[in-house]
């Protein structure tokens, strides 16, 4: 089977997802049968692929010219490479390649799989913008043979937007295990010291980092310390915060190992990959009660859920944490990861979708 993956942008969760999917498929079908079309200015994220597997278009910008270049590059590659399955990743790859399919309705239809990796119509933007995104997704749903939703929340909201259930499949994200027992060690040797918290993500409206920083200002440094991976340091940061900026993906497990709990204060979240990264290493999670997060974090069992945008509630929860409770929650979270969120499970389900389409297209 020859699989062509296409993404308009890689940075963030899409790159993490592809780092699990592409090596598995390359091992299964051979590197000559798995290719990736990606922006040249972000191709460095594709560390799991050989150079010859990567095809590029100029840039991840979302200008008309850049998106048109993506469409042209995809058209040439589809004609030349003749894939058996096309797998689209992200809203704009889904938009441009499905538009191309609509405009070339008389050509051979290669089975097409689409995953938005988080519906655009679930973002906290104006209702008019969300309505527009929903209309586009509903109209173009007919141009994808299967649409993968990354959570039950995403599946349910797709149904409410009029996307047919017959095209939808729910496949949770999964990640490979660490395979290094040292990364599950105790975070430090001071049992009476402050609880160590970790934030991983961008400093943007979606991730709620501003709410977390405001909450940390209300907590004495002797009670809790926060390390953030992603945001840059600011002179306004409280004394209890150490902002590291962006770090290499290979460094993430080490930071998780040194914390007691991971904080995910998002305002919207189609899945929440950092949650299962924490669970994989037996770390409790403090997350917002939004979107898909309650599907993954069981309140009082594998972590705690708090209302989004509620600085006082988040500060109260973070200041009341104790290591014994967090350790027990982390152990239960590890079992949830093993039972539900491994890369093997995700990859097996994706391949089942491909095989279903191959069978129906014969």
Q: How many CB atoms lie within 10 A of CB 342?
A: 19
At residue 192, the pLDDT reads: 76
- Please state, in angstroms and as integers, the Cα–Cα distance from residue 355 to each residue in 258, 284, 349, following that order: 42, 37, 10
For the segment 38-64, the average pLDDT, to the nearest whole number, is 91
Whole-prediction pTM: 0.93
Res 113: pLDDT: 98
Residue with tokens 């655009």: 120
d(C-alpha 320, C-alpha 85), whole Å: 50
Question: Does position 197 have pLDDT exceeding 90, yes or no?
Answer: yes
360 — pLDDT class (breaks 50, 70, 90): confident
Q: Which DSSP state fits 34? A: E
Strands 261-264 and 241-243, bridge-based pairing: unpaired
| Range with lowest mean pLDDT among 5-9, 44-48, 151-155, 246-250 | 246-250
268 φ/ψ angles, rounded to the nearest 5 degrees:
-150, 150
Measured CA to CA in angstroms, residue 300 lies from 85, 272, 289, 304, 326 at distances of: 42, 18, 13, 5, 10
The pLDDT of residue 359 is: 84
The C-alpha atoms of residue 256 and residue 187 are separated, in whole angstroms, by 9
The answer to whether the CB of 83 falls within 8 A of the CB of 53 is: no
pLDDT band at 138 (very low <50, low <70, confident <90, very high): very high
> Would you call 311 helix, strand, or coil by DSSP?
helix
Res 232: pLDDT: 92
Residue 5 confidence (pLDDT): 98
Cα 310 from chain centroid (whole Å): 24
Q: What pLDDT score does 8 carry? A: 96
Q: Is the pLDDT of residue 184 over 70?
A: no
pLDDT of 51 higher than 60: yes
Question: What residues contact 315, with CB distance under 8 A and at least 6 apart?
Answer: 215, 216, 218, 219
Give residue-wise pLDDT tens across range 199-236. 999 999 999 999 999 999 999 999 999 999 999 988 88
Is the separation of the CB atoms in 139 and 312 below 8 Å?
no
Residue 220 CA, distance from chain mean position: 32
Phi, psi of 245 (to 5 degrees): 75, -165
Report residue 249's pLDDT band, with 50, 70 and 90 as the boundaries. Answer: confident
What one-character DSSP code corresponds to residue 63?
Answer: S
Half-sphere exposure of 127 (CA within 13 A, CB side): 0
Radius of gyration of the chain (CA): 21
Domains, the chain, ranges and CATH?
3-176+343-361 (3.40.50.2000), 181-340 (3.40.50.2000)
């Amino acid at each position: 089977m020859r699989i062509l993956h296409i993404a308009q942008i890689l940075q963030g969760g899409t790159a993490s997802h592809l780092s699990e999917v592409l090596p598995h498929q390359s091992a299964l079908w051979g590197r000559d049968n798995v290719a990736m079309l990606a922006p040249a200015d972000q191709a460095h994220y594709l560390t799991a692929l050989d150079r010859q597997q990567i095809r590029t278009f100029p840039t991840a910008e979302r200008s008309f010219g850049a998106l048109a270049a993506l469409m042209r590059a995809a058209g040439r590659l589809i004609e030349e490479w003749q894939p058996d399955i096309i797998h689209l990743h992200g809203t704009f790859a889904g938009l441009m390649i499905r538009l191309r399919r609509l405009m070339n309705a008389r050509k051979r239809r290669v089975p097409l799989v689409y995953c938005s990796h988080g519906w655009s119509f679930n973002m906290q933007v104006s209702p008019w913008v969300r309505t527009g995104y929903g209309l586009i997704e509903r109209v173009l749903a007919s141009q994808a043979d299967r649409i993968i939703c990354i959570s039950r929340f995403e599946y349910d909201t797709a149904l409410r937007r009029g996307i047919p259930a017959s095209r939808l499949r729910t496949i949770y994200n999964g990640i490979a295990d660490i395979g290094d027992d040292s990364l599950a060690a105790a975070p430090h040797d001071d049992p009476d010291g402050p609880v160590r918290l970790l934030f991983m993500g961008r400093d943007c409206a979606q991730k709620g980092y501003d709410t977390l920083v405001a909450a940390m200002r209300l907590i004495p440094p002797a009670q809790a310390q926060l390390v953030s991976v992603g945001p840059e340091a600011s002179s306004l940061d409280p004394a209890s915060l150490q902002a590291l900026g962006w770090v290499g993906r290979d460094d993430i497990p080490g930071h998780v190992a040194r914390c007691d709990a991971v904080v995910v204060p998002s305002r919207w979240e189609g899945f929440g990959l950092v949650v299962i990264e924490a669970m994989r290493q037996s770390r409790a999670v403090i997350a917002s009660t939004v979107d898909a997060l309650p599907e993954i974090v069981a309140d009082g069992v594998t972590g705690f859920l708090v209302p989004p945008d509620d600085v006082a509630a988040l500060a109260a929860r973070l200041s009341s944490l104790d290591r014994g409770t967090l350790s027990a929650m982390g152990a239960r979270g590890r079992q949830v990861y093993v039972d539900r969120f491994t890369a093997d499970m995700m990859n097996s389900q994706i391949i089942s979708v491909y095989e279903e389409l191959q069978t129906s297209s014969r």
